[in-house]
Amino acid sequence: RPGAEQWVPEHPDLAALRAAAPDCRGCELWKPATQVVFSAGAASARLVLVGEQPGDQEDRQGEPFVGPAGRLLAQAVEEAGIARREIYVTNAVKHFRFERRGKRRIHEKPAVAHIDACRPWLRAELGVVRPGIVVCLGATAARSVLGRDVRIGAERGRVLEESDPPALITTHPSALLRTRDPADRDAAFAALVADLRVAHEAAS
C-alpha cells in the first residue's frame, strides 16, 4: 500500500516517531533528499505549527525551519508573544522536494500525492501532542490537516472547528520572503502575527 502508514509505529511517543521516520519509504521523496526532517518541540506544546516541507537548509541540517523562512517565523512567533516551549513545529511533508539545476537545488512544491502519502506522520504527531490548535502555514499544510483545498485569503485567521484538533490557516512565511515591496511585506508580517495571536488565544 502506498503512503507512510506502514512505517508509523502504533501507540508511539515522539521519540518513537522520530526514530522510525528515517526508514519511511511511503513515497519517492526520500531518495534524492539528504535525510528526513521530522519536527522540533515538546509533546507538552499547546500549539502545533505545520509548514509545507523542509527547504534546502533544513534538508542539510535535519531540523525544521532553520533557514530564512524559519527565521521569519521565529520573529513572528516572538512578536505574537508566544514562547518557544509552547510550540511544536513540523511539516506536512517530511522530505525536501527539489529540482536540480547544476549545483543548485530549487525548491519544488510537493504534489497532493506526497502530501497524502506523508499525512500518517502528521496524524500521529497530532495524536501524541494533542494541541489546543494546529496552525496551518499555507495551503499545503491546510490540505494535509483539513483534507481539502483552501483559499488562504478567504479562510485565514479564524478557528476552524471542522478538524480535531481545531485548525487555523495563515500564510506561509516564505510568501513574505517573496514579497518585494517593503510596505506589503510589513503588512503581511503583521497579518501573520495577528493570526498567531488568535491561535495562541484559542489554545490557552
User: x/- binding map, residues 125-154, to ligand URA, per CB under 6 A?
Assistant: ------------------------------
Of the candidate spans 23-31, 65-73, 180-188, 190-198, the one that interacts with ligand URA by CB under 6 A turns out to be 65-73
The separation between CA 128 and the C-alpha centre of its own chain, rounded to angstroms, equals: 16
Pair type for strands 47-51 and 87-91: parallel
Output the residue with the shortest Cβ distance to ligand URA: 51
Subset of 14-43 contacting ligand URA (CB under 6 A)? none
- 171 binding ligand URA? (CB under 6 A): no
Q: Which member of 41, 70, 131, 165 binds ligand URA (CB under 6 A)?
A: 70
Size of the site for ligand URA (CB under 6 A): 13
Q: Which amino acid appears at position 156 of this protein? A: R
Least distance CB 61 / ligand SF4 (angstroms)? 16
Nearer to ligand URA, 26 or 70 (CB): 70
Residue 110 is classified by DSSP as P
**What's the grid cell of residue 4?**
507512510
- The residue count of the chain comes to 204
- 52 binding ligand URA? (CB under 6 A): yes
- 165 binding ligand URA? (CB under 6 A): no
Instruction: Select from ligand SF4, ligand URA, none the partner in contact with residue 51, using the beta carbon and a kind-dependent cut-off of 5 to 8 Å.
Output: ligand URA
Q: Hey, which bits of the chain come out as E strands?
A: 47-51, 87-91, 98-101, 104-107, 133-137, 159-160, 167-170
- Name the residues that contact ligand SF4, by CB under 6 A: 4, 21, 24-27, 29-30, 36, 93-95, 114, 117-118, 121
Of the candidate spans 27-35, 57-65, 145-153, 196-204, the one that interacts with ligand URA by CB under 6 A turns out to be 57-65
Q: Give the span between the Cα atoms of 32 and 24, in whole angstroms.
A: 13
**What's the grid cell of residue 97?**
522536494
Q: Give the span between the Cα atoms of 183 and 201, in whole angstroms.
A: 27
**What's the grid cell of residue 33?**
533528499
Radius of gyration, CA atoms only, the chain = 16
Least distance CB 140 / ligand URA (angstroms)? 8
